[in-house]
Amino acid sequence: MDPAEVEFLAEKEMVKIIPNFSLDKIYLIGGDLGPFNPGLPVEVPVWLALNLKQRQKCRIVPPEWMDTDKLEEIREQERKLDTFTPIPSPYYMELAKLLLNHSADNIPKADEIRTLVKDIWDTRVAKLRLSADSFISQQEAHAQVKYNFYFTSEHSFTDLRYCLHTHRRNLLEKCDNIPK
């Protein structure tokens, strides 16, 4: 899945907004939304929240997990355990990027949250690289990934692919150098 597809899926996640306009229910294929009343929270997909925010029609309420205390706890768990820890959303990285880029003024401690999300991401990528290194050096036949791990960055995927290719080449060279 490429980054644009993952972001598209992330935009379907629901988020609370506080509208500053009145509108009856909207009937969409994906489900009914609303009614919209000024000052009363309502859940809408991220794509609609961003559109309304851009037109200054609402204030976006950050998801519960987008809190410095909760993200610090996730970061510490991620650093302590050898396996991936459950994350609050399969699209946490994309949601954080979208919401922080388009509604940072609605998110308390936005810069700190951005840093924490990046730290969690970096820790997960490091675990994945270490796991791939171990997998290749042990010449395993297959592997299992317990939690979803999406590559939002083509750069990250390219780095991992290069790492796997390099290890494979090194192993093949070692096999060629074994005396017969």
Instruction: Supply φ then ψ for residue 58, to 5 degrees.
Output: -160, 170
In this structure, which amino acid lies at residue 51? N
Over the stretch 56-83, which tens digit does the pLDDT of each residue have? 999 999 999 999 999 999 999 999 998 8
**C-alpha torsion 60→65→69→73, nearest 10:** -160
Q: Considering the chain, what percentage of its residues have pLDDT values greater than 90?
A: 63
Query: What integer pLDDT is reported at residue 170 of this predicted model?
Result: 65
23 conformational bin, left if phi > 0, alpha if psi -120 to 50, beta if neither: beta
Q: For residue 58, what are the β-bridge partners?
A: 19
Q: Which domains does the chain have, with CATH numbers?
A: 3-12+62-176 (1.20.58.1020)
